């Protein structure tokens, strides 16, 4: 799975790992904003790595949690989804708007493979420092975003982009360059 090979999502070990992650996510989502300290502790236990000042609002969904790595000053607004079959790495000072979806898994194009349970192909997602992803944006498997990138609300990002750009649309394209100047 982590090597990017086709894998069986019904493998007993993977099913057990997803079940454990879901227990933690259900507890996190049930807390809402009533106990920020406990909520943060759950996310820090669930994620593979967190920097300082990690804030995630309920509701949140992921597959495993341990494949999510976020840097310092991370914020994810309401209703975010991170399908972390392969690693999702997010740099420092990242802001995710509500309903942002980040997918690090795809499915085989061949329907015979899908029918036989070979449902996943992991492709890592990497997001740089100082990135702002607008509400409802979707980041597709295998995408890398550089530093200082802004993703417009509702965008579908199907390919990688370098530093200092504003991107938007479906599929996302560069709308403006040199955003820090």
What pTM was estimated for this model as a whole? 0.94
Identify the CATH number of the domain defined by range 6-177: 2.160.10.10
Dist. CA 34–CA 73, nearest whole Å = 21
CA distances from 177 to 119, 162, 167 (A): 38, 10, 9
End-to-end CA distance of the chain: 41
Among 18, 22, 92, 107, the active-site one is 107
CA distances from 26 to 20, 29, 37, 42, 65 (A): 10, 5, 16, 10, 13
107 in catalytic set: yes
Longest pairwise C-alpha distance within the chain = 52
Dist. CA 23–CA 92, nearest whole Å = 28
The H or E element spanning position 120 is strand 118-122
pLDDT (0 to 100) of residue 7: 78
Q: What is the pLDDT along the chain (181 residues), one digit of tens a residue?
A: 777 777 778 889 999 999 999 999 999 999 988 999 999 999 999 999 999 999 999 999 999 999 999 999 999 999 999 999 999 999 999 999 999 999 999 888 888 877 776 677 899 999 999 999 999 999 999 999 999 999 999 999 999 999 999 999 999 999 999 877 6
């Amino acid at each position: 799975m982590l090597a990017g090979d086709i894998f069986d999502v019904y493998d007993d070990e993977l099913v057990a790992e997803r079940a454990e992650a879901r227990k933690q996510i259900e507890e996190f989502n049930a807390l809402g904003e009533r106990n920020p300290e406990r909520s943060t502790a759950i996310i820090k236990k669930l994620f593979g790595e967190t920097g300082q000042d990690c804030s995630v609002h309920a509701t949140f969904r992921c597959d495993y949690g341990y494949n999510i790595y976020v840097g310092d000053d991370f914020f994810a607004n309401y209703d975010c989804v991170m399908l972390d079959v392969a690693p999702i790495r997010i740099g420092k000072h990242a802001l995710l708007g509500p309903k942002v979806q980040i997918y690090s898994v795809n499915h085989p194009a061949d329907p015979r493979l899908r029918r036989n349970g070979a449902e996943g192909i992991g492709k890592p997602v990497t997001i740089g420092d100082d990135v702002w992803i607008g509400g409802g944006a979707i980041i597709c498997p295998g995408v890398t975003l550089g530093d200082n990138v802004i993703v417009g609300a509702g965008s579908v990002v199907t390919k990688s982009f370098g530093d200092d750009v504003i991107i938007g649309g479906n599929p996302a394209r560069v709308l403006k360059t040199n955003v820090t100047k």
